[in-house]
Amino acid sequence: MIRAGIIGGAGFTGGEMTRILLRHPECELAFVQSNSQAGKMISSTHTDLVGETDMKFVKETDYDVDCLFLCLAHGDSVKYVRNNNIPENTAIIDLSQDFRLKHINQPHNYVYGLPEAYREQIKSTKQLANPGCFATGIELAFLPLAANKLLSGNIHVTAVTGSTGAGQKLSDTVHFTWRSSNVSFYKIFEHQHQREIGQILGSLQPDWSDNVYFVPMRGNFTRGILTGLYTKCSLSIEEITDIYKNHYAGHPFTIVVDKEPDIKQIVNTNKCLVHLKKKDDILFVTTVIDNLIKGASGQAVQNMNLMFGLDETCGLYSKPVAF
């Protein structure tokens, strides 16, 4: 059994991590830490867990775990690792953006945790940076092209996310009265995941030197990401479909589908559904993921499974919310 602990367990990603690990057949959840909720029942914050656990949030930990999940705000994970004496043999999986980018002035050994691209590196690391939610949906849309050095020209992306993508803290744009019956663009061409996406593109196809134009949207729903990506491609739709299906054949959660997917198919699952369409020399790729699972906590547990030699699907099959 893997002993796991969660740092920062009161937010959306911490809640999803708690739910998954409580049901994981090869994992024991040792503690869930929270500064703001310490001493309170976990089920008082994550109310769907009423009757399923009598665990309480803790403030201090002893790090007697095999794997530590950091579900902290961006900027806090790097401080936490620096200021706490985490044993060298404890695996760290960080869900913030702190270790996703390689910095010349701040070098680190964290492996980027996209299993469909870096499965073998993930298996051999003790330090992992979990991808961002938008980044996951977008990267899985172009990954087979980049891996086969087939990208040419600019990439244009529009993606819409639910309100949980903004985190649990209240702000003007997550209130029900603002989100309901409302859709809006934000951070046009400037979203923080754009650098992350560019770094992956550069590692997979170094000779590609064009641009990613990313337009994110806020949706009037709670969870899920719908991504639409288009770029130039000279191959036929049959050739492209074969490339995508071959690339994802050994990856259980990413599935190329024949019909346009929708968000309800993947909510509450670790799946990514991919659909391809061709018009003249333009390829259009659709992906859908649950931003809190495949885009965060589910992918983190998938990575834990790989790091500890388990089947990567272990503890991650769940029913989508179809209706």
**What's the pLDDT tens digit per position in 76-97?**
999 999 999 999 999 999 999 9
Q: With contact defined as beta carbons under 8 Å apart, do 159 and 227 qualify?
A: yes
Q: With contact defined as beta carbons under 8 Å apart, do 33 and 57 qualify?
A: yes
pLDDT at 165: 66
Report phi then psi at 33, rounded to 5.
-95, 145
* pTM, rounded to two decimals: 0.93
Average of pLDDT values for 176-194?
84
Q: Using one digit for the tens of pLDDT, what is the confidence trace for 217-252?
A: 999 988 999 999 999 999 999 999 999 999 999 999
Total Cβ atoms within 10 A of residue 316: 23
Mean pLDDT, all residues of the chain: 92
Please, which residues have CB within 8 angstroms of residue 155's CB and are 6 or more apart in sequence?
142, 210, 211, 212, 213, 229, 230, 231
E strand or H helix at 7, and its extent? strand 2-7
Spatial CA neighbour of 112 closest among 99, 103, 124:
99
The architecture of the domain spanning 133-292 is: 2-Layer Sandwich (3.30)
pLDDT at 218: 92
Least confident piece of the model among 169-173, 214-218, 294-298: 169-173
Q: Is the dihedral of CA 22, 24, 29, 35 positive or negative?
A: negative
CATH number for the domain whose boundaries are 2-131+294-307: 3.40.50.720
Report residue 186 as tokens: 């934000």
DSSP class of residue 62 equals -
- Give the residue numbers marked as catalytic: 133
Examine domains 2-131+294-307 and 133-292 and report if their fold is the same: no
Q: Which amino acid is at 229?
A: L
Share of the chain above pLDDT 90, in %: 80
Report residue 32 as tokens: 């869930």
CA gap 241, 278 in Å, rounded: 10
Domain locations along the chain: 2-131+294-307, 133-292
CA gap 55, 32 in Å, rounded: 8
Q: Is 70 exposed, middle or buried (0-12, 13-18, 19+ CB in 10 A)?
A: buried
Q: With contact defined as beta carbons under 8 Å apart, do 184 and 217 qualify?
A: yes
SS3 for 205? Answer: coil
- Confidence band of 172 (pLDDT split at 50, 70, 90): low
pLDDT at 102: 80
Strand pairing report for 272-279 and 254-256:
parallel
Quickly tell me which residue has 């209130």 as its tokens: 175
